[in-house]
Amino acid sequence: MILTLLAATPLVGALVLALLPRDDVRAGLVKVVAIGFSLLTLVISLAMMSQYDVHADGYQLTEKHRWIEPFGVWYSLGVDGIGVTLILLTTVLTPIVLLASWNDRLPGRRSVNSYLAWMLVLEGLAIGVFAATDAFLFYVLFEATLIPIYFLIGSYGGPQRQYAAVKFLIYNLVGGLLMLAAIVGLYVVSSEAGSPSYLIGDLANLDLGTHTERLLFLGFMAAFAIKAPLWPFHTWLPDAAASATPGTSVLMVSVIDKVGTFGMLRWCLELFPGASEWASPVVLVLAVISILYGALLAIGQDDIRRLIAFTSVSHFGFIILGIFAFTSTSMAGSTLYMFNHGLSTAALFLVSGLMIARRGSASIADYGGVQKVAPIMSGVLLVAGLSSLSLPGLAPFVSEFMVLAGTFTRNVPIAVLATLGIVLAALYILIMYAKVMTGPLRKGLEHFRDLQPREVAALAPALVLIVGLGFYPQPVLNVINPAIDGIVSTVGDGDPAPRTPASVAGDCEDVTYEGSYESVEDLEKSGGYESTVTITCDEEGGH
């Protein structure tokens, strides 16, 4: 029951906040209560990790109860290495966001109770999404996450908040409706097979025809591509990020948008492996376009928040690239990238949000020489920015390297183009940092305040994890790898076989291949797991 307890704790916290008095005198108490529930959720997530066996594959900590019996719907929860990693990311970031949002200025007389309650609701729903193993339950929670984000943007955002909130909602509702059509299709197919079921284990064993599998895949993939977001379905993100509060942007981009890439791994690849392989060439091209397009647009941005949003479009391109390269290295790198991107983007959004709150402007042109009066803020922004461009020694570098290394074994042209995104990342981060922090101090910034102790305390955990995982990512990879191995075994041709140099057999007159391959050329072309081949030569040629 620990997964239910984990998801329910922030929801109970939201209810408590809604019942507390709504006045400025008790605003501090409301914030303390919100942070207290988020820390309690973090403690429960750590207890969950202590019960999770990193050496086992399959779903663990499972719960299963009948929900809507006539339709085969279950309240079914369980986590594998991918889900448990993203749940941990959610529970780590939420208290950071709540503490960093302590002095957020809300428009009009908006209630701080509702503002923080919606954040806790979003945390609880996100945990449920990452733990759901019933497709119908997943869909319900997937759509439910739209509600708190809509109100967080539309009620507490900037001047264009209504436009940004409606645009966000329309895009994601369209994707959700397409997924709903695919959910109905799964019901029909499972009913024809015997009895209706939405459990992922039952659905994975369905015998789908090629045409049906591809149609159902497209329904799920459309929703996940919009959520991720993948080019050209990304246009809602910059507007939403520019209008939302920094805390909302962190929860939206670092957590909820990961539902898209998580869904590709959990649902698209596991339920529709043939269709995923069929669609992979197109998805790889769209991923590369996302990488380059997002980076190029980030370079040209003057609004800091839109710049960070476009960097995320580029980073999500890397994540999707690794998923659809279908190698264990690239997929593990993508999952690690989801975690690391969440940390680096959270640090960027939060420190830039604190900077914008002090200056009253998000325009890069309104800054200059800030490091002279705010050295701590300058240092935090530098570390967060360098992690975003994947500097070696910081967490995103490891995951980005793994994605590219795995992709090179599958598709060299795609990998080469994607590598250009690293160069562009250096440009958009360093140009932004130079304009904001270096040079002569701009007029009006003489009394610009540096980070306060509470703000440093809020940002410190993210920075520690960014540096720590940059040098030692193995603990997270140990959790991820068993789940990734299971997915790789179901989709595509598996990991590419190691190349055997032609010279190995070139000196042999009589060559015998023990295995399923008839020649070295067949071995090099194969992507199968059966990659051990014995080449036996005569005595003169050696072996």
Average pLDDT, the chain: 86
Name the residue with tokens 């509060």.
245
CB 425 within 8 A of CB 389: yes
Secondary-structure percent of the chain, ordered helix, strand, coil, rounded to 5 = 70, 5, 25
Question: Collapsing DSSP states into helix, strand and coil, what is residue 448?
Answer: coil
Q: pLDDT at position 77, please?
A: 93
Judge contact between 349 and 462, C-beta under 8 A.
no
DSSP 467-513: HHHHH--HHHHHHHHHHHHHHHTTSTT-SPPPP--HHHHHT-SS-EE
Q: What is the mean pLDDT of residues 21-30?
A: 78
pLDDT (mean) for 386-408: 91
Structure tokens at 451: 């980070």
What is the widest separation between alpha-carbon atoms in the chain? 92
> Which amino acid would we find at residue 139?
Y
Distance CA 437, CA 487 (A): 45
pLDDT for 133-156, tens place per residue?
999 999 999 999 999 999 999 888
- pLDDT score at 503: 42
CA–CA separation, 160 vs 162, rounded Å?
A: 6
Distance CA 297, CA 374 (A): 28
Local structure of residue 444 (DSSP, 8 states): T
Backbone region of residue 177 per phi and psi (left: phi > 0; alpha: psi in -120 to 50; beta: other values): alpha
Query: What number is the average pLDDT over the span 414-420?
Result: 92
Average pLDDT of the residues in 84-101: 93
Residues shown for the chain: 543
Residue 493 has a pLDDT of 55
Q: 518 pLDDT exceeds 80? A: no
DSSP H or E run through 534: strand 534-536
pLDDT for 538 equals 47
SS3 of 143-168:
HHCHHHHHHHHHHHCCCCHHHHHHHH
pLDDT score at 515: 47
Pairing of strands 73-79, 534-536: unpaired
CA separation for the pair 72, 81 (Å, rounded): 26
Split at pLDDT 50, 70, 90, the class of 10 is very high
Contacts of 184 (CB under 8 A, 6+ apart): none
Q: For residues 161 and 242, give the distance between their C-alpha atoms in angstroms, rounded to a whole number.
A: 9
Contact indicator for 236, 205 with CB cutoff of 8 Å: no
Q: Tokens in use for 498?
A: 């190691």
Average pLDDT estimate for 387-406: 91
Query: Structure tokens of 113?
Result: 């109770």
318 pLDDT more than 50: yes
Structure tokens at 339: 């975690």
Pairwise CA distance, residues 239 & 168, whole Å? 8
Measured torsion, CA atoms of residues 36, 40, 41, 43, in degrees rounded to the nearest 10: 140
Domain boundaries, the chain: 279-493, 502-536
Token code pair at residue 116:
């923080």
The pLDDT of residue 517 is above 70 = no
The predicted-structure confidence for 177-222, as pLDDT tens digits, reads as follows: 999 999 999 988 888 877 888 888 888 888 888 898 899 999 999 9
How many of the other CB atoms lie within 10 Å of CB of 453? 7
Residue 112: what pLDDT? 87
199 DSSP assignment: B
pLDDT band at 495, cuts 50/70/90? Answer: low
Highest mean pLDDT among 36-40, 61-65, 183-187, 485-489: 36-40
Q: Which of 518-527's residues contact partners 24+ apart within 8 Å by CB, and which partners?
A: 523/497, 524/497, 524/499, 524/500, 526/493, 526/496, 526/497, 527/492, 527/493, 527/494, 527/495, 527/496, 527/497
Residue identified by tokens 């300058």 is 378
Cα gap 101→98, rounded to integer Å: 5
Beta bridge partners of 303: 363
Residue 42 pLDDT exceeds 90: yes
Q: What is each CA distance from 289 to 295, 308, 404, in whole angstroms? A: 10, 17, 15
- Reference 157, options 235, 34, 242; nearest CA is 242
pTM comes to 0.86
Residue 527: pLDDT over 70 = no
Looking at residues 47-51, what average pLDDT do you find? Answer: 91
Compute the average pLDDT of residues 165-184. 92
Residue type present at position 430: L
More confident site: 522 or 399: 399
> H/E element holding 351?
helix 328-359
Among candidates 418, 210, 422, which has minimal Cα distance to 320? Answer: 418
Per-residue pLDDT for 526 more than 50?
no
* Token representation of residue 66: 């009948």
Residue 509 pLDDT exceeds 50: no
Q: What is the mean pLDDT of residues 514-538?
A: 46
Give the pLDDT confidence score for residue 44 in this predicted structure.
95
To 10 degrees, the CA torsion angle through 333, 335, 339, 344?
50
Could you give the CA distance from residue 2 to residue 49 in angstroms, rounded to a whole number? 10
- d(C-alpha 31, C-alpha 113), whole Å: 8
Does residue 88 have a pLDDT over 70? yes
What pLDDT was estimated at residue 332?
A: 92
Element (H, E) at 120: helix 112-131
Q: Beta strand pairing status for 60-68 and 73-79?
A: antiparallel
pLDDT value at residue 53: 87
Higher pLDDT, 206 or 527: 206
pLDDT score at 102: 85
Q: What is the signed CA dihedral for 367, 369, 371, 377, rounded to 10 degrees?
A: 0
Encoding tokens for residue 31? 């914030």
